[in-house]
């Protein structure tokens, strides 16, 4: 069967090149995944909710209603136990001041400052994906537990990856601890919060293509 005949267009409501690459690698060739830029959507999508699920659904609905494409959107948060779940839904703009652009380096440094002298470094990454597909709306969740490093390690990935040790790779669990930023894309996708959420998305799409 010609793969071109079974491809479906899905819009991923993001222009984040790192996210797009991760998701395209996981989804493979069954779907043509387009970014917001690729459908000529250049406005800032609304994120007015205080939950990951609410923001993901709001973004997917906006694209579907205004551009007519089947669409999925994600929202991801790093939830740190000692900080009562912060930065959570505000992870991407944790250190934002006066509407400045998101700054991953500033976000990491603020988090490390807030955890100075704190022994409890437990944290989890959680991703919520909202999908609107053939008139149906669904939510998928993926999460990975771990802990926050005391300093940055690695140059891969993005966001908080250089300071997050996933469970099974933390200093207390292995002689060679690895942050997400020290892993290959394949290693990270196999265990990451987004990877786990996308796996559930793929499972649904595979059964309903």
Q: Which residues, at least 6 apart from 63, have a Cβ–Cβ distance to it below 8 Å?
A: 11, 13, 36, 39, 41, 45, 69, 71, 73
| Residues that are catalytic | 75
Number of residues written out for the chain: 209
| 149 vs 151: CA distance, rounded Å | 5
Token look-up 């779907």 returns 31
H-type helices in 97-152, by residue range? 104-114
CA angle 103, 151, 189 (to 5 degrees): 70
Can you say whether the dihedral through the CA atoms of 181, 119, 124, 75 is positive or negative? negative
DSSP state of 163: G
| 148 vs 116: CA distance, rounded Å | 11
Q: How far is CA 119 from CA 62, 93, 109, in A?
A: 42, 25, 17
As to burial, measured by CB atoms within 10 angstroms (0-12 exposed, 13-18 middle, 19+ buried), residue 196 is buried
**Count of other CB atoms within 10 angstroms of residue 175:** 5
């Amino acid at each position: 069967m010609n793969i071109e005949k079974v491809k479906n267009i899905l819009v991923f409501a993001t222009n984040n090149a790192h996210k797009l690459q991760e998701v395209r690698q996981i989804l493979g060739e069954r779907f043509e995944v387009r970014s917001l830029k690729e459908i000529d959507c250049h406005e800032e999508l609304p994120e007015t909710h205080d939950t990951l699920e609410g923001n993901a659904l709001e973004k997917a609905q906006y694209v579907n209603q205004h551009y007519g494409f089947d669409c999925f959107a994600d929202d991801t948060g790093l939830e740190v136990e000692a900080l009562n779940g912060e930065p959570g839904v505000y992870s991407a703009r944790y250190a934002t001041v006066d509407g400045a652009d998101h700054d991953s380096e500033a976000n990491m440094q603020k988090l490390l400052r807030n955890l100075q002298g704190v022994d409890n470094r437990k944290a989890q990454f959680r991703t919520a994906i909202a999908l609107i597909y053939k008139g149906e709306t669904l939510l998928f969740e993926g999460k990975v537990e771990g802990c926050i490093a005391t300093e940055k390690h690695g140059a891969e990935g993005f966001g908080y990856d250089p300071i997050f040790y996933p469970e099974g790779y933390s200093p207390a669990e292995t002689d060679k601890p690895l942050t997400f930023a020290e892993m290959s894309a394949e290693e990270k996708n196999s265990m990451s919060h987004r990877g786990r959420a996308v796996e559930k998305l793929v499972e649904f799409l595979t059964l309903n293509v």
